[in-house]
Structure 1
Amino acid sequence: MHWFAVILQLVLLGSVWSQPNGAHIPLYRSKTQRVTRRDGQSTAIGLGDVLDVTYSALVQVGGTQTPLVLDTGSSDLWLVSNTCTPNCTNAGVPLFSQASLHTTGLEVRLLYGDSRTGTQAAGPIGIDSAGITGLSVSDQNFAAITSTNTTVLETGSAGILGLGFPPIRYVSCVIWRELLAAELTNASSLKPRSSIPLAQAMTSPMDRGSRRLDFPSFDFLSTSSTLQRKRDSVTGTSDSAATMAIASFATHGPLFTRFISQNVLVAPLVTITLQRDTLAPGGNAGLLSLGALPPGVDASQLTWVPVRGYTSAQGGLPPSRATPNEVYPLVWEIPMDNVYFDGVKLPRSSMSDMTISLSALLDTGNSLIRGPQDIVEHIFAQLGGSDLTPPSIECGTPHNLSFEIGGSLFPVDPRDFLHMDLRDSSASDGSILCTPALAVTDPPGNGSFLYSWSLGDPFLKSVLSALYYGNLTHPSRDPPRVGLLSSVPQNAGDALRDAVAQADAEGGFPVKSDAAPTGTFLATMTGIGGVPQATVYLKQSTSAARSVTVPSASISGTSVVLLIGTAFSFLLIALA
């Protein structure tokens, strides 16, 4: 995910998809949405949106309920504790009570960014109940951060909630990997995490820059005969470390993995739509549905594609000896056919091995769309740029960046393709300037992931995305896949022009942020394919700021709309 820098600057298909045990979570609640509660496990809770850079959900860990950043690019659970130093004062959100921590005896130190940033977060690995929207599991592992110099709290969140697969080597793998390694070597020999060598520095979920996720390493499964086998004291038999690793998904795995392993969800599925809170607020209702598609959305309307699996030769998780042909996914990486810009098919990048098939990562923690350097340079050149610096372009001119996936075109809404230009907000003729929400990522291969594109929030605001985990331990029996449904209206270009005309008249674009609310969700408006739509209400004011009208019954916090004129004013969010 790449939201930190931006904050500083600005199949079980069919009937199961809409079963009542699915949970539907809004990112934004309009005045007309009703709060309802269904029987059983059908619960829901709102999500926050900070400047379209981070999207957060209220998560319960032990006795603490606090907003955590939703991240499909990682998979673990960590939150800041109330003993955290030095940058944790005036947090504005609830912090985990360190006095209530049930420790595992292990600690983690998460190193972010690169050698120039020195950003870190550290703390013990705890175990407690954890849940979201009324769905919960016991004995969930998480990191309670006691020392950090990150600024995650400035985004109105207290940590990270990952939606990825267990083996990702990132924040996610630190906890899963260390708990598993400790179990394999003998639980009685646990040492504090500070005395266990960290395989390598982690890049930050808050600032990956052009770098991609660190690639997994499963060497710890075979570094010694002790790690390869663990004697069963009762039966006298031995299991391979790979078998234990796969089985550990249910005990040491991420929260959503354990939801699936314990049959908390009616189907191993989460569905995401993201709301637009900048430039032209509205679009899809921000919604996370657990275990089902949103009511009224039919699975047959979606384009379904497989998730890439990584063989052990490609660096993937080794299969067990009993199922040697299993291939496991690492991230939400899907095949892609082609990329188009303003109706013209773009060439394949010359910077990657042509034997590597074209694919893309879906990453809610990425506030941009990231692609190969030569292709990004080509697009910037079409927009009048001359290098990798995003060019300043007129906001009122719609552009069409589209991705062909599974034989269907998925355009990025022109209102999401643009960011307000904070360097120079207006041209000499007075027109408002923007920059493309596009940046560079590293080439695939060479011991790394195989995706060429990272499709972040600008793309995800333009679709409904359904993430189907399938069978976690035996993917061949029920493969993971992703379903996409475009929600971009035919008149999106005209809507952009209208938004720019209104900004010209009022002195700037509206920008708003929503605190993560509580309560359940029932859509009152739907768009293409039944996708729930957001409704935005703004109080008119003669001042430079306008307030967003939000329901008081289930929202904790204050949303503020700022008008961006010739200068950028940082948005402050007050949480109750």
Structure 2
Amino acid sequence: MKYPILLATHLSLLLSAAALRIPVKRTSSTSVSRIRKAQPGHVNSKLNARAPGDGSNTLDLDTVHDLIYMADITIAGEAYPMQLDTGSSDLWLQHVHVNDDMEISDITYNLTYGIGWAYGHIAYAPMTFAGISVQDQAFLNVSQSMNPALSYGAEGILGLGFTSLSTIDALVNRTKSDRGRSLLYTMFEDNKSQPNFIAFALQRSTHEEDDVDGSFSIGEYEPEYAAVADQPAIPTFPEHAPKRWNVLLDALMIGDSVIFPNTTVADAPSNMAVILLDSGTSYSYVPTWVGDLIYGGIEGAKFDRTMGQWMVPCDAEIDMAFQIGGQIFPLHPLDVAPHSLYNREVCAGSFIPQEISVGAGQFDWLIGDNFLRSTYSLYDFGDFDSDGKMGDPYVKLLSLTDPNEASAEFVAVRGGTARTDIVYNVAQVTANAAGSTSIGTDLASTLNSIGKYLPVMLAITALNALALLAGVIALIVYMVRKRRDSSAPSNASSARLPRGRMTPMPLSRNPSVREPTPAGERHSYERNHPDAYNPVSMALTEDTIFVPPSPAYRKSFGGKSVDRPQSMAI
């Protein structure tokens, strides 16, 4: 594992051994802690606290209603709050203060996400993130955007995925330049002898006034969660040269039931699901049958078609866990059915049944913060070999949720009786071959016979169809001529009146949805609208070269409907 660092010359010797741990606060943090770099295999336990303004490079990581996690990045000398997103790889920013340190190119693009979009020019500027500096980093200088993350105070998105998913990198590559690499790639490339992983603890709060005890780090473990170093590495899918932080889901545990998933992803084991771990998505998006299994058996639960979510009684405790890489990760029941964002008297299922349209069939489930809060997650980009190439990446997950303690915490907030007998046993799962099928000898013989006579059968069918079509045409011609001869008008007043409009009018469940904004009009986003708290999804809807699918999400914000423009095919 390597740790990236590029610092100003006069600080390089002092800071090259430093890694940063940032406490997560529900509101702006008042302190930041820094960990000195440990030797390989050793985790420092002594923290040196530093307060903002003491001359150190600091980073605040904030969350709003457990829906979004943000951190500051300095671009050309100005600090901007950004959403941290493992589901995408591009960096974009609105309201940029342009100065002489910044270069604006003539390359434009529209990035589209699971929810939202951003359009602007590719630009270059010096940046500092988590105390680490780079001198020439590409980003999208956004002039138009629609994104729910903006309503939480974020000025843009910082993608923490692989540079192979970066649209900016692909566009810059076409100019025969390598200046478009993602921010993390640039950092890792600048110092190949240091660890190159990031780690998150995205914990929750049960009351709005409480602090969220979490952290984000680069190149260092959080001492409290040092056991993650001993966890088995979970390979990405695919294992070699992935574009996303995808892993395989072995099984889903709901209560005492064990459910084995399936997949629609090519080359994936047929009895597992490919899931994307996405810190930029508030909730999780799963196949419809999965949502039905999680919430359908709860007394009083019902599916709200307008919201597209299950609504459940708030005192209904749902105990469930994921099995990934042969390891069990229980979820906190407060995250499985949080209070509705629109009505605090009811609770909503955070596993939203919706067929995944993003990712072009590269994953089955989109797993967001409602799962990640139950783990300490480490994303390792792989070691550099002697030729300077990164090795295979992997993920490590450390469970932070004891299911029985979580039950007690749920009951303390929602009422009921806490459980003390929750045990999840590892299911024995052997990966099936991808797309393997077999047929019997008799069936094979029948299929061969059909194939032999199929051309003759098709020819006879085509001749019959042509004869029938000729007869129908002759009949229509005869009827038209007969009617013309017998229907001459007697006077002007007998002219045919226009018929009533019979074309069906389109109906919409959401009356505020309107037609796409005409070309040339600027889109606007009201940052302070009263209906601000909407889940976000920053999984990029497209890779860099293929034509993206049609968007599956249209949302009205604050009484205004905004349709994102289609991405421009390159």
TM-score (norm 2): 0.60
Q: Kindly state the Cα deviation for residue 570 of structure 1 after the two structures are TM-superposed.
A: 5.9
Q: Which residue of 2 aligns with 1:98?
A: 98
Structure 1: gaps spanning 5 or more residues: 1-10, 14-18, 82-95, 185-247, 311-326, 427-432, 503-567
Distance 1:68 1:299, change over 3 A: same
Distance 2:207 2:339 in 1: 7
Describe how 1:235-384 pairs up with structure 2 within 5 A: 248=178, 251-263=179-191, 266-278=194-206, 285-296=213-224, 297-309=226-238, 327-349=240-262, 355-356=269-270, 357-384=272-299
Native 8 Å contact 2:263 2:273 kept in 1: no
Distance 1:131 1:409 in 2: 37
Q: Which residue of 1 aligns with 2:409?
A: 495
Distance 2:324 2:414 in 1: 30
Structure 2: gaps spanning 5 or more residues: 4-15, 39-47, 49-56, 417-529, 535-570
Q: Kindly state the Cα deviation for residue 363 of structure 1 after the two structures are TM-superposed.
A: 0.2
Question: What's the CA shift string for 1:447-477, capped at 9, x where partnerless?
Answer: 9343222220011111000000014788997
Distance 1:290 1:497, change over 3 A: same
Distance 1:399 1:379 in 2: 8
Distance 1:371 1:148, change over 3 A: closer
Q: Which residue of 1 aligns with 2:526?
A: none
Question: What's the CA shift string for 1:22-65, capped at 9, x where partnerless?
Answer: 21122218999865556799965221101111110000111111
Distance 2:36 2:221 in 1: 18
Distance 1:309 1:349 in 2: 16
SS of 2:333's equivalent in the other structure is: coil
SS of 2:223's equivalent in the other structure is: coil
Q: Which residue of 2 aligns with 1:543?
A: none
Distance 2:279 2:73 in 1: 17
Distance 1:299 1:278 in 2: 25
One-letter identity of the residue aligned with 2:292: E
1:405 equivalenced with 2:305 (yes/no): no
1:54 equivalenced with 2:68 (yes/no): yes
Distance 1:21 1:435, change over 3 A: same
Q: Kindly state the Cα deviation for residue 390 of structure 1 after the two structures are TM-superposed.
A: 3.0
SS of 2:289's equivalent in the other structure is: helix
One-letter identity of the residue aligned with 2:369: D
Q: 1:465 aligns with which of 377, 384, 403?
A: 377
Distance 1:109 1:444 in 2: 21
Describe how 1:11-410 pairs up with structure 2 within 5 A: 21-28=18-25, 35=32, 44-81=58-95, 96-100=96-100, 102-110=102-110, 112=112, 120-150=117-147, 152-168=149-165, 172-173=166-167, 175-183=168-176, 248=178, 251-263=179-191, 266-278=194-206, 285-296=213-224, 297-309=226-238, 327-349=240-262, 355-356=269-270, 357-384=272-299, 385=301, 387=303, 389-410=308-329
Distance 1:32 1:263, change over 3 A: closer
One-letter identity of the residue aligned with 2:406: A
Q: Kindly state the Cα deviation for residue 402 of structure 1 after the two structures are TM-superposed.
A: 0.8
Question: What's the CA shift string for 1:93-146, capped at 9, x where partnerless?
Answer: xxx2124463252332325469xx9x6532221111112121111110111112
Deviates more, 1:141-150 or 1:40-49: 40-49
Question: What's the CA shift string for 1:138-163, capped at 9, x where partnerless?
Answer: 11011111233445432111001110
Distance 2:390 2:147 in 1: 41
SS of 2:334's equivalent in the other structure is: coil
One-letter identity of the residue aligned with 1:309: P
One-letter identity of the residue aligned with 2:410: L
One-letter identity of the residue aligned with 1:73: G
SS of 1:98's equivalent in the other structure is: coil
One-letter identity of the residue aligned with 1:71: D
Q: Kindly state the Cα deviation for residue 415 of structure 1 after the two structures are TM-superposed.
A: 1.4
Distance 1:102 1:45, change over 3 A: closer
Distance 1:364 1:442, change over 3 A: same
Q: Kindly state the Cα deviation for residue 258 of structure 1 after the two structures are TM-superposed.
A: 0.9
Distance 1:328 1:400, change over 3 A: same
Q: Kindly state the Cα deviation for residue 253 of structure 1 after the two structures are TM-superposed.
A: 1.0
- Larger Rg computed on CA atoms: 2
Distance 2:2 2:256 in 1: 36
Distance 1:403 1:181 in 2: 41
One-letter identity of the residue aligned with 2:318: H
Distance 1:345 1:39 in 2: 43
Distance 1:272 1:151, change over 3 A: closer
SS of 2:171's equivalent in the other structure is: helix
Distance 1:101 1:479 in 2: 36
Native 8 Å contact 2:380 2:395 kept in 1: yes
Distance 1:345 1:501, change over 3 A: closer
Task: Report 1 or 2 for greater relative contact order, CA contacts < 8 Å, sequence distance ≥ 6.
Answer: 1
Distance 1:494 1:20, change over 3 A: farther
- Paired residues in the alignment total 383
Distance 1:288 1:35 in 2: 11
Native 8 Å contact 1:21 1:266 kept in 2: no
Q: Which residue of 1 aligns with 2:339?
A: 420
State, as a whole percentage, how many aligned pairs show the same letter: 23
